[in-house]
Structures are given as structure tokens and as C-alpha cells.
Structure 1
Amino acid sequence: MTTKFGLRKKLAGTTVIAIGIGMKAAGFGTPAVAHASMTQKELAEAVRNYQIPQGSMDLALNRLADESGVRMIYRSQLTEKLKTSGLTGNYTLTGALDALLLGTGLHYRLSESGESVSVVLAQAGDVVNDASPRGAHSLPTIDVGAAQAQPAQPASRGGGSGRYGAGASNGKGALGGRLTGYNAATATSALKMDAPIMQIPVSVQVVTRQTMDDQQAISVKDAVVSNVSGVTLQPSFLEMLKIRGFSNSANTYKNGLIEYRMRGLDTTNLQSIEVLKGPAAMLYGRVEPGGIIDLVVKRPLDTPYYSVEQQVGSFGNVRTTLDATGPVTTDKSILYRFNGEFYRTDSYRNFVSDRNVFIAPTVSFHPIEQFRMNIDFEYQRRDYVDDYALLPASGGSVANIPLSRYLQEPNLTTKYPDKMDKKRIAYDWTFDLTKDWSLTNRLSYTNIGYSVNDTSSSGFNPITGILNRTVSFIRGTDKNFATNLDLKGKLTTGVFNHAMLLGFDYFNTFTPPYLSYFAPINTINIYNPTYWQLANPYRGPSYLMLGQQWTGVYGQDMISFLDDKVHLLLGGRYDWAKYSINSNSSTAFLAQATYATQSANAFSPRIGISVQPLPWITAYGNFSRSFGTNNGLNQGTPLAPQRAEQFEGGVKAEFFDKRLMLSVVYFDLTKTNVPTPDPTNARNTLLIGKARSTGLEVDLTGQINDQWSVIANYTHDDVRTVSGSPLNPLTEITTQRPVAGFVLAGSPRNYGNIWLKYDADGMFKGLSLAGGVNASGNFFGDNANSFVLPGYALINGMIAYSTNIEGLTVTAQLNVKNLNNAIYYPSSMDRFTVQTGVPRTFLGSLRVEF
């Protein structure tokens, strides 16, 4: 290697060091291309793919140097306390530096000479323009002298890339952070610490912002199902999915804090969605063992960005969204971001409609280098006519009626539509105690008022077509409070490097006495329905009060050794939980209310190890246990706590310069006290003694090359009762008792998805085409395994074109789902609750960004 130091010069108090490097260091392979052979413009506009995790600025700059082939020289005192949000995707050199230095108060400019690339660091506000820093402090400089390979093709808007790197020619921070690609290098939900996914000895998948945009995913369900292995739908009034065969009834989180009993979760203000597989009680307490879903909120940027999008689609779908962000103060210590949505749609089902208004402002404070704080506000108002799954089974299959047929009572549901009024405030702040230790506190409070009219069924005569129905009015308010405190740090003991976490969290949910009516109404003939003849009006009211408290302390140590090739994860948590429920038949009893209360304590351990013999491949394994309460009553008694344990092992691999990630996982998960609805009594819940889920998950996400990107996954999962009730063939269909050896309802053995995207180059640059298939094998629709839902395959597609018009980035896009218009049933809970799939839909959009 030959290094030539140029003359040190002074410009307005700012030191510039010009460095020219003729070749890369020995052992790194190819010789460098002399800077003299490339103009400064070519150096600045050459595009590379970067996969740099968030965290230490020092490590990020070193990673940038490694991945770009440049050599950087700088004083570590300037950056040792700085953090960066990382970098994923295709960026120019200047775009990459912009993204990494975002929010640090440091700026740079390129030297006027094309013989080297000199980066001048100056405090924010001191650089008046690119040519003449004025009044800048004398600071160390980052001098980039590089051996660049031939310039890559300009990045497109495809998965794993973006047309603009942060700070590239549009100057808008990669279009507000939208162009993230399909692959993510880090996931904070797995350990509550920044760590590369390749080193984490657990299974975690990330749905990126670009995935949501490319597929026009409006709801969280739309974004997660099919893009992540092991996740399926579940019929529910709440925002519930199944992960590894088990319901995630309380497992939706936002920025690490629980979102309890949520409804209508939207993607408008989300930057990504992380799906952590397997029991996560060690970090999150009250969780279902299949896994958790963590919603990561968009954060303000220090460069102005504005986006307006209009979407129009099938069944009267109209959606308008706004995204605006930028600095509030000139020193950029206060930033803002505002996301808003208006949404309305009808349905393929008669009488069904949905109206939603959602606004989410966020403010970030960064008054000093050591302290950062975000404050989030959310307001959501939703008015909708419910479309709960009420389709019954007939014999060994589903009743054959049109998908448009409505089996609830429109005389009630349209006159008294469901309503939700949600208000949420949350904050998180981090204070850097030292270079290696920091303290983080999060807090959220959510108030959700709701009015729900639901219809269920407990009987169907397939000969006459008569469906017995029970209707309920529920009016109430959920008040949820959650907080945690995390101390994170690093230390070294001999040859071992420790990444440590000590934490405390508290969760309290309280539902004041709320009104509910349950009463049978007139039956309906599903083959020849007659509406608007309401019989059996509501009977006497019932008042129900719920409460739950959860307190936990936890500790974790990620020990790295053998030249950072082996990572041992050790962790444990102790919980104190309390669940109370009261039900009365009238207000007169509220003063003398007695509560059915259950208290339980438990220890939840987790241990894992990952071995990375080569930088591109990791083998890992883990064992974990979880503990959680069950909501509801069984014959008037609170349900016993659930417990679970899991063994998991797998392989992770990165290909094509870390642009494409493959994960292959085997898991064996058992759970005791599994709740299941009682089909004979909607107000009662049954328990399964033990259920087991074993299977294989395969996920492939990222970019194959500059034009092709992919999301592909496959799941093989056997979910069945291990210890349950004895089989009584005469009553099994009616009681739906879980029987040992029977498969749990709505659990397909095999399912998967592939989504392939092409971003054109050359004369068609800006054009994107994508298509894929979402497929599932057949599965039993109820715990009695008395009927089967057929397998299906759905064809999906997308075409988009993006261009610049007078400084505006304009993108037109069209998505189609279920192009083949297949009739399918994605989920079921029992013989009276089968969910129908959405027929062919089109959704077009026009987005303007500036």
C-alpha cells in the first residue's frame, strides 16, 4: 500500500487534510483505481450496497470504510460518544456519510481537488454553504482517500436499494426513510439491544417500510401475514394473529411496550415491523410463546421531507396519507414528524363498511450529545360495520353460499355501527452515562373507548339452513399503562466481551365497569336470508370489570469470544402477576362487587448460542421458557396461567455481499393451559392441558442484484393437542373439546409465499414490476377435526413507475391481490366461525414527495 499525505491547509479555521491512496492494503485483494482516473463527481455518485447496523459511530464508519473500499483517518475522540441509526441499501458515498452522520451535528464537504476526497467536519450551523465554512471550530477531519471499484449502476427503487441514498441528489434522506430495501441487518426487539441479526441466537424477521409500500399494506395484518414464516390469521374482534400455531392475543408491542387489546392497527406511521419468534417472556413478560410483533414507529429526520399519497381501490376504497418531517430549530436539536391518514372502504360483503381517521405527530429532542428523547402522540377514530367471521361448516366442508352474503343482523349493525376512539401518548429517552453504558426509559398510556355489536352462533342445521345467532352489545373503555427502564452496557473480562442488559418493567390495564348485553335473536336461513326482522330484544345488562398488573425484573448478558465468532446469550426474568375479573347482572351489585382474582409468580430463563465460523454463515440454538396469564373465565373461575418452553436451532446465511439473507429454523414448542373458545357458551373459555407445535421455517429476504429482489418463506408446522379431553364421538362436534392427538383449529401443515421484484435500468429506469404467490395446504377448521378447509394459491402483482418532475418525486403504482380470484378460507376457529378470503382487489396510488 502506498499512502501520500498532501499539504495541510487552513480554511477559515477548519483543518483540511488531503490524502491520496494508491492501493488497498495487502491481503484485501484487488488493486485500487487511482483517484486521478475518476472525477470528483464520479467518486461522489458511485453507488454501493451497505449493510451497517445501528449503534456506535466508530464501528459504523469503520464498516463504511470496509464495504466501500475507502480508507478513513479520523480522531476517535470526536465520534466515540456518537450513535448512528445505521445504513441498509444502495447509497452513494456522500449519501452514506449523510445517513451515518444524521443528527450528530457534524457536516462534511468534499475537497475541490479530484485527487482525493477530503471530508471536513464542522459543527451544525457553522457551515454556511458547501464551499466556504465560516466560523467553524478547528475540528479533526475525516479524510477519505479511496480505491474505488468501477461505479455501480445507479440504485433503483427496488428491494434492498433506493434510488436515492440519504443525502444523494434529492437531498431528502432517502425519501423519508422509505427506501429501506427488503432486508434488515439488525432487530432491536430480539435482545433490546443493537446487534446484527447474524449474531443473535434467536429467530427474528423484519418487515421493512419498503415492503409495506411495495405491497401497499394498509393494516399490520396485511404487512405481516405472508411476508413472515410461521404467521397466520385468526378470526377475532381484536388485532390477533397466530405465530407458530398459537394466538398472539397480547403480543403486539410498539417500540418495545405492549399494545394491549388493540383494534385496527395501521401501518401509516410505522418504519418497520419486527416479528420475534418463540417465547420472549424473558424480556417482555406477559407474552404468548409463539412470538411477539413489535411495531417500530417512524422517527423525525433533520432534513425536510414531505409526502402526500392518494390511494383508490376496489369496493370503494379511498385512502389519503400525509408524511411530513424536518427540524423545528435551526440547530436541529428539536425535530418533528407528522403522519396522518383518512381511510374509507366498503366490502365485498353486503352492509359492511369501514371509516378511519388516524393522526400521529412525533417530536424528538436532542439538546446535548448524551441525551435523546422522542415523544409520540396518536389519535384514531374508527367507525365500522362489523364483518366478524360467521360462516358455518356444513358436513365435512364449508357451507356453500356467496361470499357477499351477510349473516349478522344489519338492523343492528348498520343502525349501531362499531366505534373505537383511541388516544395514546408515549415517550422514550436514552442518556449515555459513559461511552459504553446508557440508560433508557420508555412509557406509554393508551385510552381506548369502544362500542361493539357482535353476533356469534352456537348451532346450525345444514338441512334446513337455519343458523342460531346470539348478539351482544359491549360498551367500555380500556386504560393501559406500560413502562420500563433498561440499563445497557459493554465491558471486557479477559478474552470475553460482554453486552449486558438489566431491566425493570411494569404493566397495568384496567377496564372500568362496562356494559354488555348477550341475547339470542331471530334465526336466519343462510341460503335464503330475511333481514330487518329483529326478534328477542336485549335482555338485562351485565357489568364486567377487568384488571391486570404485571411487574418484572430481568437481566441478560451476550458474551462474545473467539475473535467474535461465538456469542453466548444468558438471561433470566422474574415476574409478579395479578389478574382480577368481576361480573354482575345489574348496577345494584357493583357496590358489593366481589372479584375473582388470581396471582402468580414465575421465573423465565433463556439461553442461546450462535457460532459464526465464516462471516457469511451462522449456526445457532436456544432454549427458553415463558409464563403468562390467560384472560377470561372457565365456569366463573379465572383461567390458570399458561406456561411454555421451546427448543430451537437453525442456520442463518448472507449472500451477494450481505444483500440477501437466508434463515432456516427448526423449533419444538409446547404450551400448557391453552385457551380455546367454548362453542356452547360465548362467555366461557375452555383450556387444553398441553399443546405442541413443531416445525420448520425458511425465510429468504433481500436483493439478488441491482435489479432483482425477493421475499420468500415456507413453513411446515404440526400443531396439535398433546394432553386433552377423552374422545366422545357423540358429543365431540358439539363440545369441541380438545382431544389428544387432534390438530388445533385453523393450523395448516404447510404454507408459504414468494414475492419477486424487478427494477428496470437503462431507458426503462424508474419502472418496477413484482409478482408472487401466497399458498397454503388444507387444514382442519375446528378442534374436533370434523371438517376441512381446502388449500389455496393466490397470485399477487405490482407495477410502479417513479420519476422526477420539477424537483418532485412522483410515483404511480398499481397492486392486485388474488388476481386469479380464488375462493379461499384463510382461517377458522370452530364450525360456526370460518373466515372468508378477500376476492380479487385492485389498489392504485399516486405519491408525490419533495
Structure 2
Amino acid sequence: MSTGVRTSTALSNALLFCLLSGTTAAYAQTASDDASNAAASPSSPSNLPTVKVSGNRDNARVGSADGYVAVTAVTATKTDTPLIETPQSVSVVTRDQMTAQAATSVAEALRYTASVLPEIRGDSTAGAPYLYSRGFVLEQFLDGTRLPSDTSYGYAIPNFDTYGLERIDVLHGPSSVLYGQANPGGVANLVSKQPTTTPVHEVFVTTGSHNRAEFGFDLGGALTEDGKLSYRLTGLGLDTDTQVNDSKQKRIFIAPAITWKPDENTTLTVLAKYQRDPDVGYYNNVPAIGSVLDSPNGRISSHLNVGDPNFDSHARTQYSIGYDFEHRFNPTWTVRQNLRYTVVNDNLANVFPYPNGYAAGSTTNINRYSFTNDESAKFFTVDNQAQAKFSTGPLAHTVLFGFDFQRVLFDQAVGTNFIQPSLNLFNPVYLPIAGTTETSHDMIRMKQFGAYAQDQIAYGKWRFLMGVREDWASADDTNPIQNYALAQSERAFTWRTGVVYLFDSGIAPYASYAKSFDPQLGATYGGAQLKPTTAEQFEIGVKYQPPGYNSFVTAALFDLTERNVASGDADHPGYSVQLGQVRARGLELEGHASLSDNLDVVASYTYLNDVTTQTNLTGTTLNGASVPLQGLQAYGVPRHVASAWLDYTLHAGTFRGLGFGGGVRYIGATYDQTNTIHVGSRTLVDAAVHYDTGTHWLFSLNGKNLFNRVYVASCQSAGTCNYGDGVEVLATARYRW
């Protein structure tokens, strides 16, 4: 990790005073911020500016972290705010944690994060990375700009490689005040690696399970002697099989970035990403009988390809380009503009089993249908911000004004053929698959304007947050195949507020309230337009950051309710129904700590009660009975999830540089949507051995699901279950200079 920290005697004394007096670390800043922050914090107990020395000062806008422990994050407030002063639960997965755990996808990187269920689709996660938090969809953002999600855009869901990321910030719960239309589960903000003036030179190779062959490089540094121009260039190539027969993953990834800093007050960073996956990976499901339930024929193999190797294909191309601009006019005013253009093209051809499971009268054969889906999602987003820091008497303000705009162009052509040869799951013979006929073609245009304002107030040891937002959203959907055209517009007001009290001991209790909204494009069979979903969340908790220690712990209780939830109408394809209301209540515990120079720890526990509280919908059980869904637990969402990861590294003696890591993940029992199919809990073990030679070479060996536990990740219905990932062992060699 680069240091790049400018120190002075005054700065060191201020930091030492803060540690000895037990005050809490606050805004990361450079020495030139001292005067302005001292004026803006007249009520500080020490009457000195509060200083947080960051491990990476090249770009403070991404937030600061030391090893596994992050202390600030931009995602939750769009200002570089200490996590302990943020009145909402925020989790951060750092670059060091991703590297230590050999996380090869965003889903894998979030395995040890409280409240996040990243692999509900199990071995199909690579094909479509559905993420959930607090029982709801977790939206992916890239450097603060929205990406397509599964609730709106079928399979055109981006899955950027984690090697190009510096960290992942997860803001739990509603986030509409800052980000506009979004699901209430929260935001997973993928923060890109940034240009740096400190030289970065790394190449690596990885091999291991499923004939994996992977190569990557990460280069960065100053382009000019004065450091006004710096760069970052990250790239990767991947070719691997998967645990499913005749299914592969291939990838090419490249991410250039350049920063121009003409003076101390102005920064312009241009970032780009390109990723081509000619083989995205497996995406399919198996029946409940034979996977999670007993079958007279035994267990369906977790290596079975339920589709057709001669027909199935899945390719994705995604790229993004944009810039982050910041200029500070004076100690009070700073302006920013963040702009991105992102494109995801996804082409899928697959053979799926019917959702009701086995063919009538058979205990071995499933009926199948072929499906093709060609999608293109184009996102343009721009976010304009003006920030002011000033005082009004004893109150120190950080005020943020913003205006953002999103435009989405989405095109989806769907083809189906419901008459295909059946497949014997216990003795598969793949027969020729007929082509599909186009059955739907949606052409969607969406726009959203949003204006927001936020005030963060410091008064003594109190921290207050208040934010409001007004959104104007419009969309139209033309489908010439199904012969309909829809157009609708919505306007919404959202707000949030919160308070934190900072004790000298490092304990910070907080409380907050937040609202969100998400427009739904579509209509019911009766012709009524869908109402926007709305959500509200009450949250109380406590954060703990002991002075003088590199650790951070959060405990949160939340009550989150979403209304007007929409879903596809099973009886009338092409139309939707609105479920009514879903409520999630729970407890989150999460801690990141470096207990010594040798030992790093990440641990979390989540209790979640996620229930559909209002709906007229019914579901079909395994025996064909109709069951009302009201009052039932959401499918695939466990009540209890717990995890812990420890990493111990020797820094002295004969074995200096040798380290060991180990993790345990417990995922509790779940049910299908009718709550009649029980999916058992599982405990998975991960492990790592790593060795730093102290010169240029670093070696690591990682094992995931080390004991090869065969398990079902979730079941949605009798015919729609997903196996989880089996054992995977990866060996990596890195060379740094």
C-alpha cells in the first residue's frame, strides 16, 4: 500500500494529542486544510483540527483505509466523512481483504459482509450476479454512478473484475436521497483503483482448480517530475472451466486511468474500463427433488449441465468511461462533477428446465425450453456537486448541494421455444435443440433529474445529518412484438436524517431515518400503470472505534418496509402485479480489526426476519397446491448468517513473511417462496497460506469451501434450485518492483 503522507511536527503533535486525549478521528485532510477546519470546529474539545492520517493520500475522494480497516467513506454522504460520524450502517471491503481472500468476483468479495447475501444463485452467480442486502436487491454503483440491476434489466448486469477495484463500500438501507431511484437494500459502490504518484508495479499469475489460467498486471505512478500527471493501468486475462461440465469462463479486462493535478486545489481524473467475457459462466437450475429433497434415483450431480452444451452460450461486453473533477475555490467552497457513460451488451442462449420440475409421471426426466435474450443497456450519468464548509456560532456545517441526471437506453429481444427434448438428469443424453422464435422486444428509454441538499452539522460531540431530495423520472417502453406502448412519469420527494454522539472512549451511538423510491415501468393486466415502490427505514445502532487501535465495530438494529413491490404476472406474461408490502427487521454486527501487527480479523453476524406482509398473490407447492404468499418468509433469505476470517502473519524470525488465513461462513436454513421446501443450513471453510519474500515475490495458496461441502444455495420453487460452489484451490505468484 502506498503511503504518500506529508507530515510535519505540527501535524504529528496534533495526531498524538488526539490519540492521548481519546478524541475520535475525523476528516482526512492535507496540511492546507488546517486553518479552515480549525475555524469550522470551534467546539472541538482540543481546539485543534482533528486529523486522520490516511494510508493513501493520492485520492482522498475514495475514502481512507489501513489494511482491513476503513475509517472514512465517501459513499454514504458524498463527502469524505469518518464512518463513526455516519448515522447509517456502512461496510467496507478493502483491497487488502480482497487480495488475502482471493476474491475473484464482487459476490465473493462480499461473502464476509454483514447483511449481504451475495450468492443466492449459487453456481449461477457468475452468469448473473444477483446481490441482496437486508433481504432486498443491492444496487451496484461504479465510482458513485448507477449500474444496471436485475430488477430492471434482465441479464445485462455488469460484473466488473475485482482486480480493478480499490475497495467496495456497502451503504445498507435506502439511499435515494443521494442517488435517486434505487432499491431499498442499499448501494454497493465499486471504487476503482486510482492513479497514484507513488510507484505501483505488479504482475501476477494464478492457476488452480478447473484448469484455471489467469494473468494480470497493475501499474501506476507519476508521469511528470512534479507529480501533476499520474496514471494507473490495470489489466487481466482469464480462461477457466467451472464446476459444471462443459461450462467455461473467459475474460479480458483493461482499465486505464490518468489524473491531472495542475495545482493543490484542482484535480481531474479520467477513468475507463473495458471487459469482454466471451464465456460468462454457468447459469441454470435443478429441481428440488434430487438436490435438496430425496429422490429414488439418488442425488443429482452438482457437475451436471442441465442445459445443452451444443446450444448454450453466454457472452457479455461491458465498458465505462468518464471523469471525476474537483476544484476548491477557497477554504469554504468546493465544486465537483462526476460523469460516466456505461454500456453493457449481453447475449444469452440457454436451455432451461420448466419451473414445475419433473415431467408428469417421471422421476428422472425434466421438460425443457430454449431461451434467447439479446440485451443492450446504455447508461449516461452526471452528478454536479457544490460543497460549503462554514460555521454559524457553535455549529460547524458541511453543506452539500447537488443536481444529477441519468439517461438509460435499454433494448431487449427475447426468443423462446417451449417444445424441446426432455433430459434424464441421472443419465443425460443431449439431443438436438431447435431454435427460438422472437416473442418480445422491449425498447425502453428512461430519464431522471434529481436535486438534493444535505447538511452535516458538528456541535461539540454531536453530529447531525439532514438531507432532502426531489426527483423527476420518466420512462417509455415500446414493444412491437407484443403490440403495446407504455409511457409514464413520476415525481418523488425523499429525505433522511440522523444523529451521532461521539464519546471520548470511541463509542458512538446513532439513530437514523431514511426513505427511498424506485419507479416501476409496466402495467397490470387490467391496464393500470404500476406505482413506484417506496420504502422507509428506521435504524439505531452503535459504532466503536477505540482510540489508538486500528479497529472498527458496528452494531445496528433496523426496520425496513417496502411498499408497492412489483413482480411478473405468471398468469398473463408481459404484465405485472404489485405484491403489496415487504418488511425486513434485523440485527447486524460487524467488526474489522488489526489486533496486532500480526493479526487481522473480520467478523459479522446478521439476524434477518424478511416477510411479505401484504399481498394477494399465491404460489404453487411441490404437490401442486396453491398457497397464499402473505405472511411468508422471502425465498432464499436465511434468518441467521455469521462469518469470521482471521489472518496471522509473522514479521520477524526465521519464517518472517509467512502468514496463514482461515475463515468460516455459516448460512442458515431458507425456504422456497411457498415456505414448503426447506433448504438446510451450511457451514463452509476457507483457508489461505501466503509468503512475502521481502524483496519482490509474494506467493499465496487459497482454498474456498475447503472441505468440498455439496449444498443447495437456494430454491425458489419445486423446479428452481441452485447448487452452491464446490471446492476451489488457487495458487498465485506476484512480482512487485
TM bin (shorter chain)? 0.7 to 0.9
Secondary structure of 1:198 counterpart? helix
The question of 1:629 aligning with 2:511 is answered no
After TM superposition, give the deviation of residue 281 of structure 1 in Å. Answer: 0.5
After TM superposition, give the deviation of residue 455 of structure 1 in Å. Answer: 3.6
In the alignment, the residues of structure 1 paired with residue 640 and residue 162 of structure 2 have an alpha-carbon distance, to the nearest angstrom, of: 28
In the alignment, the residues of structure 2 paired with residue 755 and residue 364 of structure 1 have an alpha-carbon distance, to the nearest angstrom, of: 35
Equivalent position of 1:208 in the other structure: 94
Equivalent position of 1:292 in the other structure: 187
After TM superposition, give the deviation of residue 218 of structure 1 in Å. Answer: 1.1
Change (3 A) 1:395 1:271: closer
Equivalent position of 1:460 in the other structure: 357
In the alignment, the residues of structure 2 paired with residue 293 and residue 18 of structure 1 have an alpha-carbon distance, to the nearest angstrom, of: 39
Alignment of structure 1 residues 343-358 onto 2, 5 Å: 343-358=238-253
The question of 1:557 aligning with 2:455 is answered yes
Aligned mate of 2:714, from 804, 827, 833: 827
The question of 1:220 aligning with 2:194 is answered no
- Deviations for 1:16-71, whole angstroms, at most 9, x for unmatched residues? x999x99x9999979xxxxxxxxxxxxxxxxxxx97753343568999xxxxxxxx
Change (3 A) 1:206 1:738: farther
Contact 1:524 1:530 in 2 (8 A): no
AA at the equivalent of 1:741 = G
Equivalent position of 1:87 in the other structure: 54
In the alignment, the residues of structure 1 paired with residue 9 and residue 80 of structure 2 have an alpha-carbon distance, to the nearest angstrom, of: 34
In the alignment, the residues of structure 1 paired with residue 474 and residue 625 of structure 2 have an alpha-carbon distance, to the nearest angstrom, of: 30
Change (3 A) 1:737 1:550: farther
- Deviations for 1:466-518, whole angstroms, at most 9, x for unmatched residues? 32222221223221101110111111111111111110111111024x43211
In the alignment, the residues of structure 2 paired with residue 26 and residue 473 of structure 1 have an alpha-carbon distance, to the nearest angstrom, of: 64
Equivalent position of 2:320 in the other structure: 424
Alignment of structure 1 residues 429-578 onto 2, 5 Å: 429-456=325-352, 457-461=354-358, 463-512=362-411, 514-540=412-438, 542-561=440-459, 563=460, 565-578=461-474
Change (3 A) 1:178 1:649: closer
Equivalent position of 1:120 in the other structure: none
Equivalent position of 2:534 in the other structure: 643
- Decide which moves more: 234-243 or 767-776: 234-243
Higher relative contact order structure (alpha carbons within 8 Å, sequence separation ≥ 6): 2
After TM superposition, give the deviation of residue 615 of structure 1 in Å. Answer: 4.4
Aligned mate of 2:674, from 781, 784, 806: 784
Structure 2: runs of 5 or more not aligned: 1-7, 38-47, 150-156
AA at the equivalent of 2:192 = V
Equivalent position of 1:655 in the other structure: 546
Change (3 A) 1:27 1:218: closer
Equivalent position of 2:255 in the other structure: 360
Contact 1:715 1:752 in 2 (8 A): yes
The question of 1:193 aligning with 2:160 is answered no
Aligned mate of 2:704, from 804, 817, 825: 817
Contact 1:458 1:679 in 2 (8 A): no
The question of 1:839 aligning with 2:726 is answered yes
In the alignment, the residues of structure 1 paired with residue 371 and residue 676 of structure 2 have an alpha-carbon distance, to the nearest angstrom, of: 27
Q: How does the TM-score come out when normalised to structure 1?
A: 0.76
Change (3 A) 1:632 1:752: farther
- Decide which moves more: 607-616 or 455-464: 455-464
In the alignment, the residues of structure 1 paired with residue 102 and residue 399 of structure 2 have an alpha-carbon distance, to the nearest angstrom, of: 39
In the alignment, the residues of structure 2 paired with residue 498 and residue 349 of structure 1 have an alpha-carbon distance, to the nearest angstrom, of: 55
Secondary structure of 1:299 counterpart? coil
| C-alpha RMSD over aligned residues | 3.2
Contact 1:732 1:784 in 2 (8 A): no
AA at the equivalent of 1:435 = P
In the alignment, the residues of structure 2 paired with residue 305 and residue 26 of structure 1 have an alpha-carbon distance, to the nearest angstrom, of: 33
The question of 1:612 aligning with 2:505 is answered no
Secondary structure of 1:233 counterpart? coil
Change (3 A) 1:397 1:25: closer
Contact 2:557 2:587 in 1 (8 A): yes
Change (3 A) 1:437 1:62: closer
Change (3 A) 1:25 1:266: closer
Change (3 A) 1:584 1:452: same
Aligned mate of 1:282, from 149, 170, 177: 177
In the alignment, the residues of structure 2 paired with residue 451 and residue 192 of structure 1 have an alpha-carbon distance, to the nearest angstrom, of: 35
In the alignment, the residues of structure 1 paired with residue 105 and residue 521 of structure 2 have an alpha-carbon distance, to the nearest angstrom, of: 25
Contact 2:355 2:720 in 1 (8 A): no
After TM superposition, give the deviation of residue 407 of structure 1 in Å. Answer: 0.7
- Deviations for 1:754-800, whole angstroms, at most 9, x for unmatched residues? 001111132122111111100111110x2211201110000110010
The question of 1:670 aligning with 2:561 is answered yes
Contact 2:391 2:397 in 1 (8 A): yes
Change (3 A) 1:716 1:609: same
Contact 2:618 2:626 in 1 (8 A): no
After TM superposition, give the deviation of residue 459 of structure 1 in Å. Answer: 2.4
In the alignment, the residues of structure 1 paired with residue 337 and residue 456 of structure 2 have an alpha-carbon distance, to the nearest angstrom, of: 21
Contact 2:505 2:547 in 1 (8 A): no
In the alignment, the residues of structure 1 paired with residue 334 and residue 484 of structure 2 have an alpha-carbon distance, to the nearest angstrom, of: 45
Aligned mate of 1:391, from 266, 286, 296: 286
Contact 2:348 2:372 in 1 (8 A): yes
In the alignment, the residues of structure 2 paired with residue 757 and residue 540 of structure 1 have an alpha-carbon distance, to the nearest angstrom, of: 52
Structure 1: runs of 5 or more not aligned: 1-16, 31-49, 64-75, 89-98, 105-176, 587-592
AA at the equivalent of 1:291 = G
- Decide which moves more: 282-291 or 470-479: 470-479
Change (3 A) 1:582 1:786: farther
After TM superposition, give the deviation of residue 708 of structure 1 in Å. Answer: 1.3
- In terms of Rg, which structure is larger? 1
After TM superposition, give the deviation of residue 656 of structure 1 in Å. Answer: 6.6
Change (3 A) 1:745 1:682: farther
Equivalent position of 1:148 in the other structure: none
Change (3 A) 1:504 1:386: same
Contact 2:93 2:109 in 1 (8 A): yes
AA at the equivalent of 2:222 = P
Change (3 A) 1:827 1:331: same
Alignment of structure 1 residues 589-738 onto 2, 5 Å: 595-630=485-520, 634-635=524-525, 639-655=530-546, 657-676=548-567, 685-725=576-616
Q: How does the TM-score come out when normalised to structure 2?
A: 0.88
In the alignment, the residues of structure 2 paired with residue 232 and residue 451 of structure 1 have an alpha-carbon distance, to the nearest angstrom, of: 23
Aligned mate of 1:57, from 7, 31, 35: 31
Change (3 A) 1:425 1:27: closer
The question of 1:327 aligning with 2:229 is answered no
- Deviations for 1:83-113, whole angstroms, at most 9, x for unmatched residues? 999514xxxxxxxxxx65x599xxxxxxxxx
- Decide which moves more: 274-283 or 264-273: 264-273
Aligned residues: 694
Change (3 A) 1:672 1:233: farther
- Deviations for 1:386-426, whole angstroms, at most 9, x for unmatched residues? 5223111129944630101111122211xxx2212222211
- Deviations for 1:363-396, whole angstroms, at most 9, x for unmatched residues? 1011122210110111111111652231111299
After TM superposition, give the deviation of residue 269 of structure 1 in Å. Answer: 1.3
In the alignment, the residues of structure 2 paired with residue 353 and residue 638 of structure 1 have an alpha-carbon distance, to the nearest angstrom, of: 41
AA at the equivalent of 2:558 = F
In the alignment, the residues of structure 2 paired with residue 445 and residue 200 of structure 1 have an alpha-carbon distance, to the nearest angstrom, of: 29
In the alignment, the residues of structure 1 paired with residue 399 and residue 625 of structure 2 have an alpha-carbon distance, to the nearest angstrom, of: 49
- Deviations for 1:119-158, whole angstroms, at most 9, x for unmatched residues? xxxxxxxxxxxxxxxxxxxxxxxxxxxxxxxxxxxxxxxx
